[in-house]
Structure 1
Amino acid sequence: MDGRLLSAAMTGDARSMIQLASHDPSVLLGTTPQGNTCLHISSIHGHEGFSKDVLELDQSRALLSAVNKDGETPLLTAITRGHASLASVLLSCCYGQQLSETILKQDKRGCNALHHAIRRGHRILALKLIEAEPALSKAVNQHSESPMFIAAMRNFTDVFDKLLEIPGSSDSGPFDFNILHAAVRTGNSVSAKRVMETRPWLATQENGSKHTPMHMAADEDKIEVLTVLLEHDPSLGYSGSTNGAPLLCIAASQGHVGVARELLKHCPDAPYSDATSSTCLHVAVSYEHTEFVEFIMGSQQLQHLVNMANNNGETALHLAARNSQTKMVAALMLHQDIDLTVLDKSGNHAKVLNKVPKTELVLNKMEASSGGAASSSGASATAMDSSLLQAAMTGDAITMQNLAMHDPGVLLGTTPQRNTCLHIASIHGPEGFCKTALAVNPSLLTAVNSDGETPLLTAVTSGRVSVASVLLRCCRDQQLSEAILKQDNRGYNALHHAIRCGHRELALELIEADPALSQAVNKHDESPMFMAVMRNYADVFEKLLGVPYSAHGGAYGYNALHAAVRNGNSAMAKKIMETRPGLARQEGKDKTTPMHLAVIWDKVDVLRVLLEHDQSLGYLVSSKNDVPLLVAAAHRGHVDIARELLKHCPDAPYCDANGWTCLHEGVKWEHTEFVKFVLGIPQLRKLINMRHPHGSTGTGTALHMAVLNCNPKIVAALLLNQDTDVTVMDSRFGASAIWVLSAATDHAKTLNWNEVSMLMLKADPQNAGSVYNLHKETKDKLTKLSRKDIKSLTQTYTGNTSLVAILIATITFAAAFTLPGGYSNDAGSEGLPIMARKVAFQAFLISDTLAMCSSLVVAFVCIIAKWEDLEFLLYYRSFTKKLMWFAYMATTTAFSTGLYTVLAPRILWLAITVCILTSLLPMLTKLLGEWPVLKLRFRLGRKFKSELLDMV
């Protein structure tokens, strides 16, 4: 754009514009670097007169249709800048020239003129736009917002009504909201009614939170809107969200009694419980809404919820007692139908769960007033005679026989846990008593206690193997197959317990007696075979495997082969593969097959057995995330697994569905040996430069990831491979591997970061400029971060430095008054140093003085240090570092010369040795302090660049 035209458009100088256009009409079509024409500029500044004059010229049509880099026409520019009157002028011109596309134009964010007009509150302009071009109502922006949604959110009823009349107008909003959600949010029942009359289906649409407008109304206490919706369609009161929460539960979570009352008015039997069987009463108690609880207690439709339990067997009273909600407990117990005897799944009633004495007092009062309702109603079975109980515990068979002689039915008496005398004897182990009892009354074998156990099960679980063998033989002799096969309340049979408790001989005896025991699984889906394999009981396992119909399932969806893999038992795995090969492909609940477990747990021998039997197993991938076996091996760094896998399956899958390879995985988890293995094997050589198509840092190669992790060993290994291409750019950011270091500035002060920089510089010398630019950029970034924390850095450095300085000053000060050789007592030279004339002594005094002075200077500089000046800190570090080194060397010199003064006259060799050792001390200190850098210099050789280490 001509500079004069730009100035005229900014100031509204129409005369200058007309004069320029008279000489060269095309000058009006010139643009700024942002693509703005003179009409855009005048629209930004609101010069209506200038714009009218421009539009009277021949170029008006082109100027009206011109689009800048933000995707804006002059009409859009005028509206976004708040110039409504100018926008009306431009709209009239577009309408007059039939520029429909210009009116409908959407900017880069998808907003058209109507979006902006409503958003900025220009209601009259919005109505004009709708009148001029109704199709504006159909557009949605990048956030899925329609003009109607914005109008509803801003409560612009006139604009909203106008848009609602247009048949094809859009009604969507962001986060899957619609205009009815917006009406609910603003509490506009009038708009809600209009929507229900014209677009009733919107009432059932869920937003991103899986809430319909009805759910929002219940959650936000919009009673008037809720009434409108229910009056139009009462069935909406029965709707539930995708997550299973009914409206009453939502109202209960917020304590909205008015919402619940209105809902029940239109829907007397509205749903009151969610997917977990938690009722609105449970919810209200959990959120401590006492008023809502009282409402439920007084409601005819909901008062039956008082004793209703959720999936955990807990009533609302259980929750209130467990959470120590005294007021809530009192409110619940005011209801006449409350039942204190209800037990949860753990067998606890509400009183057991309370934690606060005050709550317990309330419960006790209620229990007393109920007349002991919580007491047991009494067992239907006959109670066991106490003499018989004592006899069973001690094994007194004679007493038992005497009792049975007078009353044969006495043996059928039970304890409160429904244990017979045979159960008790099975627990305590008197074998003779058991035999005698069975001789008197064989029916005791089939008796079941409250745990679902027969005497046989009780004997096994109690570890009474000999008693269990006796009972098993009796059951078999009497053909009591059901008693042998009986499972307790947890689904365990005698064989389960025998294997779990380690009774292998008994387990074999049970299988021999009734092979059908092998078919049962407990509540955890564990079969006897699975348990046997888990415990490595080969003899029991083989016996069970020989039963054709024996179960092989286990906990967590695993099977017997999973168990064999876990234990690394290749012999068992081989037998399973020979008889039940299908188990190798079965997945557990974590979607892992036995093959995957063998890879993850590094069970090479088992893996070999599986692959030798069926090579195709090497091509399995997890159904959960399509992870192939090689990637799983890379995750743990199991090189031997990968080698064995490729031995049987040379073309085994190496990447998942997203293109993530085993090399990427090995690099990510920094398994250097696995990375070297991949780089050295021909089958996987092509992975070196393969990009992965996802990731927050781009879509790069393994080298990109190694650089990001700042792992010099892996970077070096990758660069040593001749196929590595360091120039590969990721497809997301267009960055080569070296630039990935910019995303790892947290490690910029480490040797690893700098070593990786040097390695990449050597590998790609053409990119040297980029490396140094990156280094400078990172250094500047770290400097800015340091400035933010300068006070802490200065305090830390001065504290550490001053401590050492004061220590040296103290030592040297004390040494000055404890002179080597002592002081003279001779007449005429009293108090003078004896060694004063020796050169070594004079050197001692000079070095000691220098050490003390330099350390004192450092200590006092720490006192005057400026806390918030980075430049001062840098100067201070440089200055004090040099001075402290000088003090250190002076101190060692003073030490060596002092000892030399004393030792030299008599033990010269020792004096010289002390001097040599102390002189080497500073050099040794320097070597040890800079050893990591020296080691890096030695390792890199010519690749080493010292200028890149100034951040370390």
Structure 2
Amino acid sequence: MDLTSAVCEHDIPEHLFMCSELYIAAFEGNADQVTGLLDGSGAARNGWSSPAAQPTAQHDGACDIHEVTAERSTLLHLAAAQGHDGLITELCRRDSGLLSTKSSSGDTPLHCAARAGHAGAVGAIGRLARANVEEDRLRDALRGKNEAGDTALHLAARHGHGEAAEALVRVAPETAAELNGAGASPLYLAVMSGSVRAVRAILWCSDASAAGPKSQNALHAAVLQSSEMVSLLLQWKPGLVTDLDNNKSSPLHFASSDGDCTIIKSILAHAPPRAAHMQDSQGLSPLHAAALMGHAAAVRLLIQFSLASADVRDKHGRSFLHVAAVKGHCVIVSHALKTRMLEHHLNAQDREGNTPLHLAVVAGECNVVCKLLSSGKVQTHIMNNAGCTPSDLVKDCRGFYSMVRLVVKLYGSGAQFQPQRQDQIEKWNGQDIMKWRETTSKNLAVVSTLVATVAFSAAFNVPGSFGNDGKAVLSGDRMYDAFLVLDTFAVVSSVMATILLIYGRASRSNRSWVGFMIALHFLWMSLNSMVLGFFAAMAAVTNQKKGMRTVMSQVIYYGMYYLVMLLISLATPGSLTGNLKFLIGSCRERQRRIKRRISRQYPFAISYTFNVVMFIVLSCVAITSVDVTRTFLDG
């Protein structure tokens, strides 16, 4: 039975199943041992010890050159996979038909050599095939495809074997135009592997294909790999720039979304003017893609290449500025504000009538809203198709802090609400805030109780201890007296905070919000008093000559200062001036009406802003107290 008929059967005949000795000899490239086994030399079989564990599977007499493994790989497959050029030559001398045999996965020996990256084996197989294989079987030997549709060049390219790819394009250059079962060309796979050498080798073939899956080309993949490969592809075929994938995305879309300006410049240097205007299936241009990802430098580069591309709208009628506002990319918004020829986009409406300000408010992007309003170029009274101004859309904001920031900022800019009957106004849905308050009240009650316990116990473990008469040793010392006052205040304020928090959890009424906010102030004051009391106690028992008081005062002062500044920056909805303006109001009738509308729909915004201002005042008093004490001690 010959090999062709044997491999077509489901089971491998017993006499064609490769023995272990022959397999190991071929794997290790021992041509003499393989030759001896094939010739039936007893000395060869008895004089060589397999490194595998004994006993090994053996044949009686000589081995057959057509023996195969469980995957139907021949001796030539094994030799090619390991790059044994001498053994390859010897096996082909005995039977050149092995060059076109295929394993169970459809791999020829050339596939095996290419996958492993053995350029020498690839060259040897190519020479032997052209010299010994008949024309009708030469195609299978050099250009055949496996079950996945891969040629040997596909495999070398996929694994990034540049030297093997160079050998393959010399052996079978026509395979550079072949596509595998996934629709990928060797060039596309070489780009994906990141091998510049493999890319160069394939580009040597004038008829090479650049196709990839999903209608992409090699340039689509290269823009996400390296600028060198992009340059090579553009020099080879500049027309790749305008090819579109299944989503109608061009390579410029890919490059713009990645934001590498070097690659974008290379593409634009070879691109026709229309490349910057090409839209994908969603109507997005490369400029949209850059704006969505926040690549400000790429946005400037694309606009410089084609200013008219800024007028491209997606299927929702949105410009690049609309999408940048939705994503909160302030740098791109700032660029539009500073460029006079882009100012008409600031108040442009999409198909739903939304301006960039509308979309930024809906997305809760407070920084973008602040940037737009502070420019003085954005009109805040524009209504969308639903009749809503940007101020009306604050009601859709789900975050409490974002809601407050938006309300304060929009009020400061004089933003209007749509005309509406005041009895039909619905208050902002604060259910999430109610849940947050209940959970926070429980945790804060534990903290306030702990502060009260610590402050209470400190009164009976006074610094300096007690004398024989039961009185404090440091009684009459100014720092000790300050400790007693501060400790007492910490006890009282923490107890008050605990009572208010417990009452708020029990009542669960809207008025309990007032108690909750007052409890927060009491708790903050108790914490400050406890810190100052600690400082006073340590100062009372520390020798001033050693400078320890000064060190402690500086640590406490700067620690409290940076903590307060951090809390203020995180909690304050805008500038202090803007908050005061929001609370005090304006003498203008229009602003008074807007303020009344806010108080009906967003009462939490007013109360929160008031309490933030109170927090700032209390924090400034605490810091000033530490500073005065520090100055007193240093003096």
TM-score by length of 1: 0.52
Q: CA deviation at 1:730?
A: 1.0
How far the C-alpha of 1:666 sits from its partner, in A, is: 0.8
Partner of 2:247: 590
Contact kept in structure 1, 2:31 and 2:86, CA below 8 Å: yes
CA contact (8 A) 1:532 1:540 kept: yes
Give the secondary-structure state (helix, strand or coil) at the position aligned to 1:625: coil
Residue 56 of structure 2 aligns with which residue? none
Query: Deviations for 1:869-927, whole angstroms, at most 9, x for unmatched residues?
Result: 325623533554454456446545654554555458x7597668868987999888766
Percent identity, please. 21
Amino acid at match of 1:764: G
The secondary structure found in structure 2 opposite 1:761 is helix
The residue that corresponds to 1:937 in the other structure is 575
Q: CA RMSD in A?
A: 4.0
Tell me which residue corresponds to 1:793: 437
1:397 aligns with 2:22: no
Is the contact made by 1:383 and 1:414 (CA closer than 8 Å) also made in structure 2?
Answer: yes
2:298 corresponding residue in structure 1: 641
Separation in 2, partners of 1:579, 1:659? 37
SS at match of 1:651: helix
- Asked if 1:473 is matched to 2:127, the reply is yes
**Is residue 155 of structure 2 the alignment partner of residue 497 of structure 1?**
yes
Alpha-carbon displacement from aligned partner over 1:530-586 (angstroms, at most 9, x marks no partner): 2233345445434433433222212332112223322242x5545544553433222
Residue type of the partner of 1:648? F
Which residue among 423, 428, 435 is the counterpart of 1:781? 428
8 Å CA contact retained: 1:615, 1:649: no
1:819 paired residue number: 462
CA distance in 2, matches of 1:803, 1:660: 50
Tell me which amino acid in the other structure corresponds to 1:383.
L
- The equivalent residue for 2:588 is none
Flag the 1:848–1:908 CA change in 2: closer, same or farther, 3 A. Answer: farther
**Match of 2:333?**
675
**Equivalent of residue 268 in structure 2, options 611, 622, 639:** 611
User: Which AA in structure 2 matches 1:445?
Assistant: L
Q: 1:618–1:649: 8 Å Cα contact kept in structure 2?
A: no
Pairing of 1:332-731 with structure 2 (within 5 A): 378-379=11-12, 383-384=16-17, 386=19, 388-402=22-36, 404-405=38-39, 410-478=64-132, 481-482=138-139, 483-569=141-227, 572-574=229-231, 576-652=233-309, 653-694=311-352, 699-731=353-385
Change (3 A) 1:743 1:888: closer
Amino acid at match of 2:364: C
Q: How big is the shift at 1:402? A: 4.7
Q: CA deviation at 1:383?
A: 1.0
- 8 Å CA contact 1:384–1:420 kept in 2: the answer is no
Alpha-carbon distance in 1 for matches of 2:196, 2:430 = 66
* Structure 2 residue identity aligned to 1:680: K
Asked if structure 1 preserves the Cα contact closer than 8 Å seen for 2:325 and 2:368, the reply is: yes
Cα pair distance change 1:881/1:649, threshold 3 Å: closer
* 2:467 paired with 1:810: no
* Residues 833, 800 of structure 1: alpha-carbon distance in 2 compared, 3 angstrom cutoff: same
Q: Which residue of 1 aligns with 2:389?
A: 736
Residue by residue over 1:273-301, the C-alpha shift from the partner in whole angstroms, topping out at 9 and shown as x without a partner, is xxxxxxxxxxxxxxxxxxxxxxxxxxxxx
**Alignment CA distance shift 1:659-1:450 (3 Å):** same
- Summarize the Cα distance change of 1:922–1:883 in structure 2 as closer, same or farther, 3 Å threshold: farther
Distance 2:522 2:156 in 1: 78
- Write the distance in 1 (CA, Å) between the matches of 2:608 and 2:274: 51
**Structure showing greater Rg:** 1
Pairs within 5 Å for 1:67-466: 378-379=11-12, 383-384=16-17, 386=19, 388-402=22-36, 404-405=38-39, 410-466=64-120
Instruction: Please list the CA deviations of residues 639-659 of structure 1 after superposition, one character each: whole Å capped at 9, or x if unmatched.
Output: 232322233323224212442
* Cα distance in structure 1, aligned partners of 2:175 and 2:379: 63
Q: Is the 1:761–1:771 contact (alpha carbons within 8 Å) kept by the matching residues of 2?
A: no
**Distance verdict in 2 for CA 1:730–1:385, change over 3 Å:** closer
The 3 A distance-change label for structure 1 pair 937 and 476 is same
Contact 2:451 2:490 survives alignment (8 Å): yes
Alpha-carbon distance, 1:839 to partner: 6.2
Q: Is the 8 A contact 2:154 2:186 kept in 1?
A: yes
Q: Measured at CA, do residues 509 and 760 of structure 1 come closer, stay the same or move farther in structure 2, by a change above 3 Å?
A: same
> Counterparts of 1:758 and 1:895 in 2: how far apart (Å)?
38
Q: Which amino acid aligns with 2:31?
A: A
Distance 1:517 1:850 in 2: 87
Report deviation, 1:820: 3.6
Q: Does the 8 Å CA contact 1:568/1:603 hold for their aligned counterparts?
A: no
**Unaligned runs of at least 5 residues, structure 2:** 1-8, 41-60, 586-604, 610-635
**Paired AA for residue 458 in structure 2:** A
Change over 3 Å in CA distance of 1:922–1:427 after alignment to 2: closer
- The count of corresponding residues between Structure 1 and Structure 2 is 556
Indicate if the aligned counterparts of 2:178 and 2:185 stay in contact, CA closer than 8 A: yes
- Taking the TM superposition and a 5 Å limit, the aligned residue runs for 1:751-766 are 752-764=402-414
Question: For residues 811-847 of structure 1, what are the alpha-carbon distances to aligned partners after superposition, in whole Å with 9 as ceiling and x for unaligned?
Answer: 333333333443334xxxx434444465665565555
Distance (Å, rounded) in 2 between the aligned partners of 1:754 and 1:674 = 25
Which residue identity does 2:283 align to in structure 1?
A: D
Q: Distance in 1 between matches of 2:149 and 2:316?
A: 43
Contact 1:384 1:410 in 2 (8 A): no
Contact 1:615 1:648 in 2 (8 A): no
Equivalent pair of 1:631/1:662 in contact (CA under 8 Å):
yes
SS at match of 2:348: coil
* Larger CA deviation: 886-895 vs 499-508: 886-895
CA distance, structure 2, for counterparts of residue 579 and residue 918 of structure 1: 68
Give the aligned residue type for 1:793. Answer: R
1:632, 1:670 → 2: CA distance?
Answer: 14
Structure 1, unpaired ranges of 5+: 1-375
The Cα of 1:379 is off from its aligned counterpart by: 4.2
The amino acid across from 2:455 in the alignment is: T
**8 Å contact 2:277–2:285 — kept in the other structure?**
yes
Structure 1 residues 458 and 942, CA, compared in 2 at 3 Å: closer, same or farther?
same
Judge conservation of contact 2:16–2:64 (CA < 8 Å) in 1. no
Task: Spell out the pairing of 1:839-878 with structure 2 (5 A cutoff).
Answer: 841=480, 844-845=483-484, 847-856=486-495, 858-859=497-498, 867-871=506-510, 873-877=512-516
Describe the shift of the 1:934–1:478 C-alpha distance in structure 2 as closer, same or farther (beyond 3 A).
same
For 2:112 and 2:524, the matched residues in 1 are separated by 80
Q: Is the contact made by 1:812 and 1:852 (CA closer than 8 Å) also made in structure 2?
A: yes
Alpha-carbon separation, structure 1, partners of 2:517 and 2:450: 20
Is the Cα–Cα contact under 8 Å of residues 285 and 314 in structure 2 kept in the other structure? yes
